[in-house]
Amino acid sequence: MRQSDSVGARIARYRKIKGMTAQQLATAAGVGHSTLRQVETGHSGPSTFWVGRIADALGIDASRLYAEDTEDVQTLDVLPVIRRTLAAVDLMDDDVEPLAPTELAPLVAKVGDWRRGARYRKIGDVLPGLVDQLLVSAQEHGEPAYALLTDTYRAANSLAHKFGYSDLSMTATERMLWAADKSGDPLRVASVSYLKAATLARIGAGRQAMKLLDRTVADIIPLAATDRTAAAVLSSLHMRAGTISATLGQADISRDHLAEAGRLVETIADTVVLDTVVGPTNVRLHRIAAEVDLGEAGAALDIARNTHLPKGFAPERRTYFWVDTARAHLLAGDPDAAIEALLESREAAPEHFRASGTVKATVRATADQQRRASRTLRSLATAAGVDD
C-alpha cells in the first residue's frame, strides 16, 4: 500500500498545491491543527464528515481525497441503478400495475432489512422497479404509498453515499423529502432531516447541517413529550447533531447533544423506528465516533470497551462500531489493535467494508503506522478495495 495514496497524503498534496500551511487549512476548515497533522501523517483515520470539511476548505470535491487508482467493478455496477432509481417522479410506465401499499409493504420492509444488513447488491436488484411501482401506487392510494416511497428512496441514498456519489445522495434525500411531505407524517419528514444533515456534512456544509437539525429538533420537541416514536426520532436527530458538531470542534455541544440522545432512549430498547436504528447502543456508537473526531482516543476506547452489541444488532451499525474503534486505536498509536477491530468490521458487513470511504482511509492509515504491512493488513486492504 503506497503511502502517497492515503487520504492524509492526498490532503497534504492538495494543501501544498493550494499554497496553504497546515495551520491555514485547519483554520479554514475549522478543525484542530493537531488532528489535521495526525491525519496527514497517517496517525488517524478521518470520518467522512471530517473529510467533507477539509475538501470544502480546499475547494475540491471530497471524492478526490478518496479516489483509488483503479475503479471498483462493484462501484460501476451500482451507479446506473442509483441513476435509474432517481431519474424522475412523473414519468411512470403506463404498463405498471397500481398495486396497493399493503402489497408493496413487505418488499419495502425487506429492502430496509437489506440496507441495515449492508446487502447492497440485493437492494440494487429490486430498487428501480420498486420505486416505479410505488410512484404509480401513490397516484392512486396517496399517503401510505408515499410513506413507503420515502423508505425506499432511503435505500437509494444509502447506495449513493456508501459508494461515494455525494451529488446523487443529495438528490436521493430531496426525493425523500418530497415523498415524506406527501406522506402527511411530520415525524417521517423529521427523519429525512437526520439523513439530509449527514449528506450536507459530507460535502463540508456542517454548519448548514446543524442549522437544519436545530430547526427540526425545535419542531419535534413538543411531540416527544407524549409520543415515544417522536422521542426516538428526536434522539436520532441529537445523535446526528452530536457527531457533526464534533467535526466542527464543538466538544461541549457535541457531548450535550449525545447526552440528550441517551436520555430520550433510556426507556426505549434498541429497535428500528421509521427505518432508523435507535436506542442506547446506537447512542454509544455515535459517542465513540464523536470522541475520535474530537481527538479523544482514550474516551472513545473507554466507551468502546464498555459497549456490548446486542444479539441481532444491525450489521451496518456493527461495522460502524468496529471501524470507529479501529480509528480510536490508530489515534492512540496502536495499529495492531486497529487491525483486530478492522477484522471484526469486515466480518460484520463485507459489502459495507468494501464500499466505505472511511474503511479505506482507516486501512491506509493503519498501513502508514505499520513499518511493514502484515499479511493480515494486506488481506484487509484487498477486502476494502485498496490498491496494494
Structural element, H or E, at residue 40? helix 33-40
User: What are the backbone angles phi and psi of residue 169, rounded to the nearest 5°?
Assistant: -65, -40
DSSP state of 3: G
> Among 120, 119, 136, 173, which residue's Cα sits nearest to residue 151?
173
DSSP state of 185: -
Burial of 225 (0-12, 13-18, 19+ CB in 10 A): exposed
Write b or e for each residue in 127-153: b if 16 or more Cβ atoms lie within 10 A of its Cβ, otherwise e.
bbebbbbbbbbbeebeebbbbbbbbbb
The reported pLDDT for the residue numbered 4 is 53
Say if residues 356 and 342 touch (Cβ distance below 8 Å). Answer: no
The reported pLDDT for the residue numbered 73 is 38
Q: Which amino acid is at 140?
A: E
CA distance 123 to 300: 33
> Among 315, 311, 287, 313, which residue's Cα sits nearest to residue 301?
287
Q: Which cell numbers in the block locate residue 289?
A: 465516533
Structural element, H or E, at residue 23? helix 22-29
The reported pLDDT for the residue numbered 67 is 59
The reported pLDDT for the residue numbered 230 is 96
Can you give the pLDDT of all 388 residues of the chain as single tens digits? 555 568 888 898 888 888 889 999 999 888 888 889 888 887 788 888 888 889 888 888 777 787 553 344 344 467 888 888 898 888 777 778 889 999 999 999 999 999 999 999 899 889 999 999 999 999 999 999 999 999 999 999 999 988 888 889 999 999 999 999 999 999 999 999 999 999 999 988 999 999 999 999 999 999 998 999 999 999 999 999 999 999 999 999 999 999 999 999 998 989 999 999 999 999 999 999 999 999 999 999 999 999 999 999 999 999 999 999 999 999 999 999 999 999 999 999 999 999 888 898 899 888 888 767 788 988 999 998 886 5
